[in-house]
A and B are shown apart, each in its own frame.
Chain A
Amino acid sequence: MRMDMRLLLGASLLAVTACASSNSSAVRAGRADLRAALRGGWMDAASAINGMTLVASRPRPEGFFDAKDPGNILLANSDMAFSGGTLFMGSFHGFQVWDVSNPSSPRNRTSVVCPGGQGDVSVHGSLLFMSVEMPNGRIDCGTQGSMSDPVSAERFLGVRIFDISNLDAPRQVAAVQTCRGSHTHTLVTDPRDPANVYIYVSGTSGVRPASELAGCSGGMPDQNPNTAQFRIEVIQVPVASPERAKIVNAPRIFADARTGNAAGLWSGGTHGPGTQTTEATDQCHDITVFPEIGLAGGACSGNGILLDISNPASPVRVDEVTDPNFAYWHSATFNNDGSKLIFTDEWGGGVQARCRAQDRKTWGADAIFDLRDRNLTQRGYYKLPVVQSEKENCVAHNGSIIPVPGRDIMVQAWYQGGISVFDFTDAANPVEIAFFDRGPVDPKNLALGGFWSAYWYNGHIYGSEIGRGLDILALSPTTHLSQNEIDAAALARVDHFNPQTQVRYTWPAHITVARAYLDQIMRARGIPADRSASIASEMERADRLTDAASRRAALARVADTVDSVATGAAGDVRAKLGSLAATLRGM
């Protein structure tokens, strides 16, 4: 992870925007892949791009990088959250406020110094939440570093709460300590209780001594019923008075429902009592909630779990899975209608090269599950479809849905493997449709770097590069994705975005959405070409009518035509034709 100093001394402090050009040809795998063997460098690496354009790159702001050691983890960028035209970039050193109201010209507005990584952030109104697990976290946000005392009243591990109503001077208003810190957290809103929000805390560090934080103790639940392992914490935050935030529950979501044993997952007796349960599933790495369907996906040690969150303060496990290829369950992402759930496997913890030729396609990958009646069934895997070098940390990491109507598409960060956009509409056969990648941060050593997260937000893809800063990309049309589909995705707007808190995207009844559906029908060759061509021209003509009543009537006639075509079409195409007809009737 450390850098070669000779190389770095020669590196310019100034950022050089990585050159990137759009390539509209289809993504090619194998030896023709543009990503193979890119020239390395911190801020001047070569790059390859397909199906996207890089619209802006900004280096980390002053104070948040060390030119002598770009991979210094204490200054690494981490996760992002969005609200209106503002992007919040988490960092192991605090967080940064970026004005992205014009995505092609992002501006760093404020940098807030408050060390304690990982610094994953989420936002709700004028509140920002931040995870702290590193030993240098202090209650007062000081930069003194790790405290010399093993037990310190100054130490902070848990979830910080900032008031961000003044974006030029966010201030810490509360800090909720937890026994294992907060590796990640999840913002949970309750549609019936707008006065409060809830934070699920996933802690993966060791348990702090009770002398530092009262009530903390570890161990197996059969020997210590109060163990801080085998649980998550639930913080309730009164939105109007966040200083009153407190832990209201510590549910034992791994418990065996029948016996009540808190170590219900992977506990056992094969090797005699007391010896085999020390490594039972006892923690979650990350939890993604989808309040509209009342479910959460938990990526928890050796299991993926499904939680009922209809009572947000008391999540209840309803299903759990393991994986024959043996994944380390890292994070979860639902598709837009909640019928699929993707778990990622962060094999190697994100600091290892795991996309080499010898690393299997099913290791360090995404596992794609069907979700029906609260049951998970595995269908397929997706892994970055190009080999990366030994000098690039690379494994599945954070991403989000891209709301193209009628398709399941995800954009995902793969650390130094870059950003990959893939279609998983067919869960058993996911396929890449766009990518962006740079050469290694350090051509000679495996240095920490690459994309921590890549998220879609209102028409653009935002990437948090650990060592290189903020990248903003736009999709460009290819044979895999039409301009109409890209434009339709941009119509599904949200006023904020927290990656671990999914909302269901909806699309306005708009001609662009209709065109997107028709593009998909034509790509699938689902109906004869002359039929799709005539539907296209009829719906365009109808849309152009200026008299509202005539337009509505004409659109309804086209919808009737679409319905009649649908009766003879195959299942997938029939569903798309149905969506097209509904869109036309809604216009």
Chain B
Amino acid sequence: MSATMPTRAALLATLVLGACSAGIGNGGTAIVQAGAPGEPSRPVQRSAPAIRAAYTPADVRFMQDMIVHHMQAVHMTELAEQRATRDDVRTLSRRIAASQSGEIDLMERWLTARGEPVSAASKDGGHAHMPGMLTPAEMDLLERASGVAFDRLLLESMIRHHQGALTMVAGLRARDNSGVEPELHQFLSSVDTDQRAELARMRALLGRDFKQVRP
């Protein structure tokens, strides 16, 4: 991890200025600061500023890693565009491509807006350690597969890939102070819920139709 990151993170923990104004004015508008349960609210002369939460080096690394993770998924969907035999597999693949390429843009914006590089200074030899990533050999196998075998291998690989993304999200959330920066927090929820739903769909495509598990 880069030693400069904590400094940048600390710099970002600065106040976001709220618009300052008298508490009473604007036709009788009042601003009150609520208190703890049971405590009264207090009129305030000016609104409290919103504080932009700090982020951590782990947050930055997560975003940098997830960009790479997503890029592999997008590459897999490109293969599906050419090779998938089933329309439903191709359709789902297009949806994953649209989701993840949009999220790559979002992650790059998040990093750039905070003055962080979009890719990690890879002292540790790249991203092979990321859960769910296909190894070069596995990717080669997928690239050479065809027909129904391709459909099945794509779904199985993508399921593993998505599970890896969920593991990465859970891992970040489990770290002290990480995953709590507001925009990142929202993003994590979105990735978590979207990929869970996509996993369910992929399982259905693999033959476990949802209605079959109904009692």
Contact = CB atoms under 8 A, between A and B. Distances in A.
Interface in B49-99: 49-54, 88, 91-92, 95, 98-99
B196 A352 contact: no
B47 A64 contact: yes
Interface stretch (A131-139, A533-541, A558-566, A577-585): A131-139
Contacts, number: 274
Given A172-B39, A348-B102, A281 B200 contact: yes
B204 A322 contact: yes
B35 A63 contact: no
Interface residues of B, number: 86
B117 interface: no
B36 A358 contact: no
B32 interface: yes
Given A148-B177, A268-B203, A328 B47 contact: no
B170 interface: yes
Interface residues of A, number: 102
Contacts of A268: 203, 208, 213
Contacts of B190: 348-351
A73 to B, nearest CB: 5
Given A135-B185, A326-B197, A363 B95 contact: yes
Contact of A243 (B18, B38, B43, B180): B38
Q: Give the most central of A146, A276, A285, A347: most B CB within 10 Å.
A: A146
A453 B173 CA distance: 29
B53 A112 contact: no
A571 interface: no
Contact of A347 (B99, B170, B200): B99
Nearest to B205: A326
B40 A169 contact: yes
Interface stretch (A102-110, A414-422, A427-435, A471-479): A102-110
A93 interface: yes
Contact of B159 (A134, A206, A271, A322): A271
Nearest to B113: A2
Given A348-B190, A349-B187, A279 B29 contact: no
Nearest to A301: B196
Interface of B: 13, 16-21, 26-41, 43-44, 46-54, 88, 91-92, 95, 98-99, 102-103, 105-106, 109-110, 113, 156, 159, 162-163, 166, 170, 173-174, 176-177, 179-183, 185-187, 189-190, 192-201, 203-204, 206-208, 210, 213-215
The list of the 5 closest CB pairs from A to B, nearest first, reads: A63-B47, A349-B190, A145-B51, A135-B180, A302-B200
